[in-house]
Amino acid sequence: MKQSEPVIRKHANRRSFLKNSLAASAATVGVGMLSKGLSALGADHDHDREITEGDAAILRFLAAAEILETDLWQQYNELGGVDAPVSGYQTGLTQLDGDMPQYIADNTDDELSHELFINAYLKSKGAKTVDLEKFRTLEGSEVTDIPGIDGKKRLTNLMELTVNTSWWTRYRSTTQNPDFGDTFPNAIPTLAVGMFTAIPRNNAELMIGSTITPVDNHVQAIANTAGFHFAFIKQGGTSLYASIAQRVSSVEVLRIVLSIGGTEIMHFQTWHDKAGNAKPLTDGALVFPDLTNDIPQPESLQSNLIMPEPTIFLSKKFPVCSIIRPTATKGVAMGAVKALTADGLFRGQTPEFFEFLRDLAEEADEARREV
Ligand SMILES: [Fe+2]
């Protein structure tokens, strides 16, 4: 009981502080302002405020992450999205779900909107924005059967990926949580070693015009790799936003982080569901096991267990809880940079690119909640 006393006192202090500051602003804003009602003291009021250096640093790191995300989704969209011409690759994607091309196009739009919104918001606050155009130096797919792809410079590399799929078993665990130091096995162990392409690198891997099923084994392997990569990217975004939100100071910036972070969660849930439909196959070193529930699977692999299993959270003294995991906030931005680098997404990028990204991550990780 003694331990809870300071907590209660803190609450009392905060409440009286809020009451005092509301009284103070009521005294100064006058009757006209008050007649606008609570909104004058709520979101609108907050919007006129400057943001802290910490909030700007967090938003800049998120802007960079969104720019990189946009770049990778654009590559998927050009080759497999709903506006891309029919191909063996696109048909391979539709083996995971008939709506995959639509989802890819929509996910691309969403990332672009995140990138543009965060930069516009930073600008509105007089803060520095983020531009990665000088790092657009990577060669992408050499497909020529779709115009405009070959020769286009990219920020990210989708052709030499090492895809971690431990999020699959992590979200199925009922007893472990990465925030407690736990590690999780890969659902697709072969994807986590070696380097694999998630997009057709050339016309032979695209198979323009082909709707034949079953899809060519190698092309289906590329589509399967994409399917798991989609979810890998999104589980990262899901944890990144939930973790970094805990360092935000302004209520409005918190609103931005929670609202954009929420769509990352929606994307993750969708891609998590679709990845489970990846066609079982072997393509050289790459093996996709059958994860569907048609055959007996341990629960750590069962494809229809896409709802986060309740697990330990904060302390083992509490009952298990269905949650995003991880959400520890220390070093989260640098952790995201490391995870994307290990994914192979930046293979071929310049030392200047890594330095720039690490600087943004360091500044975001130094941000502290100031209230
Ligand atoms: Fe995003």
The string of DSSP codes covering 156-222 is S--SSB----HHHHHTT-SS--GGGT-----SSGGGGSS-B-SS--SHHHH-BT---SS--HHHHHH
* DSSP three-state, residue 311: strand
Q: What is the mean pLDDT of the segment spanning 156-183?
A: 98
Ligand 1 centre to CA of 68 (Å) is 9
Tell me, what's the pLDDT at 42? 46
% of the chain with per-residue pLDDT over 70: 86
Tell me, what's the pLDDT at 284? 96
Identify which of 16-25, 66-75, 284-293 has the greatest average pLDDT.
66-75
Ligand 1 centre to CA of 111 (Å) is 4
Ligand 1 centre to CA of 113 (Å) is 8
Tell me, what's the pLDDT at 8? 38
Q: What angle do CA 50, 9, 252 make, to 5 degrees?
A: 20
CB count, 10 Å around CB of 252?
Answer: 21
Ligand 1 centre to CA of 125 (Å) is 21
Q: Indicate whether 19 pLDDT > 80.
A: no
Ligand 1 centre to CA of 336 (Å) is 13
Ligand 1 centre to CA of 61 (Å) is 12
Q: Indicate whether 40 pLDDT > 50.
A: no
Which of 98-107, 209-218, 294-303 is least confident?
294-303
Tell me, what's the pLDDT at 44? 53
Instruction: Locate 185 and state its tokens.
Output: 């096995």
Nearest CA to 72 out of 8, 2, 3, 132 is that of 132
Q: What is the mean pLDDT of the segment spanning 262-289?
A: 97
Tell me, what's the pLDDT at 24? 40
| Residue partners of 241: CB distance under 8 A and separation at least 6 | 62, 257, 258, 260, 261, 262, 264
pLDDT band at 64 (very low <50, low <70, confident <90, very high): very high
Ligand 1 centre to CA of 238 (Å) is 9
Q: Indicate whether 164 pLDDT > 80.
A: yes
Q: What is the mean pLDDT of the segment spanning 27-47?
A: 43
Nearest CA to 44 out of 248, 255, 242, 241 is that of 255
Tell me, what's the pLDDT at 47? 66
Residue at 201: amino acid letter: R
Tell me, what's the pLDDT at 293? 67
**CA-to-CA distance for 94 and 107, rounded, in angstroms?**
16
pLDDT tens digits for 302-331?
998 999 999 999 999 999 999 999 999 999
Ligand 1 centre to CA of 110 (Å) is 6
Q: What is the mean pLDDT of the segment spanning 63-72?
A: 98
pLDDT band at 244 (very low <50, low <70, confident <90, very high): very high
% of the chain with per-residue pLDDT over 90: 82
Tell me, what's the pLDDT at 49? 76
Torsion angle of alpha carbons 158, 159, 162, 168, nearest 10°?
50
DSSP designation for 323: -
Task: Work out the end-to-end distance of the chain between its first and last CA atoms, rounded to an integer number of angstroms.
Answer: 27
Ligand 1 centre to CA of 257 (Å) is 10
Ligand 1 centre to CA of 75 (Å) is 15
Ligand 1 centre to CA of 118 (Å) is 10
Ligand 1 centre to CA of 265 (Å) is 10
Which residue in the block uniquely carries the two structure tokens 């590690």? 183
H/E element holding 144? none
pLDDT tens digits for 78-108?
999 999 999 999 999 999 999 999 999 999 9
Tell me, what's the pLDDT at 85? 98
Q: Indicate whether 186 pLDDT > 80.
A: yes
Burial classification of residue 50, based on how many CB atoms lie within 10 Å of its CB (0-12 exposed, 13-18 middle, 19 or more buried): exposed
Ligand 1 centre to CA of 338 (Å) is 18
Nearest CA to 57 out of 370, 371, 354, 362 is that of 362
Q: Indicate whether 22 pLDDT > 90.
A: no
Q: What is the mean pLDDT of the segment spanning 262-288?
A: 97
CB count, 10 Å around CB of 97?
Answer: 18
| Residue partners of 304: CB distance under 8 A and separation at least 6 | 276, 292, 293
DSSP H helical segments within 35-140, as ranges? 43-47, 53-80, 88-94, 100-124
